[in-house]
Amino acid sequence: MVLLYPISSKMAKVETYATLQDRPREFLAATGLTHDEFARVLPAFATAYAVLYPPDQTWEGKVRHRQGGGGAKGVLSQMANKLLFILVYQKTNPLQTMHGLQFGLSQPQTNYWIHHLLPVLQRALADLDMAPERDARQVATSPLTLEGAPHMAIDGTERRRQRPQDDTAQQAHYSGKKKAHTDKNILLVNEMTSKVVYLGPTEPGKTHDKKATDQAPIAYPGNATLDKDTGFQGYEPERVLTMQPKKSPEAKP
């Protein structure tokens, strides 16, 4: 018989920005940002938070009648912890229960904060001109594309999702490559800056990379180069020099 014991608050280790300040490698792995990059995003995140959730209003958008800041202080009371929370969620895509355990939150609290903070992060990145382009027709003129030489790399990325209840949806989202139900997005990266230039629409995991790209034709700048893998075999956009690695003839079949 296997006995499961609840994790007490004393046993659980709550992650905060302060606990990760002296652990740069773990911080980069968890958030995708260095400490310097985090410091550049934080002021824009705080500004976006104040715009979306004014201090003179409650979280529900009603006029506040009492001064804010009263009551117990939660683990996400500091703006740095709010940014850390949403960055880790976006980078690692964990189950909400597991994500909450890292921050001392219940699953309902975690769900609330994800939906509360995601619009803030999106607005902050847009204000910093760091948000990837979502319109494939605008990629050629995007500042992220034109930063440095137009050397690009394209790839498909998949993330696990809950198994759909509908049989047709189950088949569409089942990825034989990942052996799981997934959602897929096409990413275009500027190889000079390592920044994501374009984020394609979310497609079922079974969708082939090339098909997903053909459904939203990307406008490339002139004289661009594009690295691709075999998932994009036959993808040859106009005025773009594509490069695809080939299997060595000496490799074993």
Residue pair 241/225 in contact (Cβ under 8 Å)? The answer is: yes
Beta strands in 193-253 (DSSP E): 195-199, 203-204, 224-227, 240-243
- pLDDT above 90: residue 253: no
* Model confidence, pTM: 0.74
The pLDDT, as a whole number, for residue 251 is 59
Give me the mean pLDDT over the 30-55 stretch: 93
The pLDDT, as a whole number, for residue 152 is 94
Give me the mean pLDDT over the 36-55 stretch: 94
β-partners of residue 179 are none
Tokens of 59: 């979280």
**Angle 196-219-151 (CA atoms, 0-180°, nearest 5)?**
50
Q: What is the mean pLDDT of the chain?
A: 86
99-103, 200-204, 224-228, 244-248, range with the lowest pLDDT:
244-248
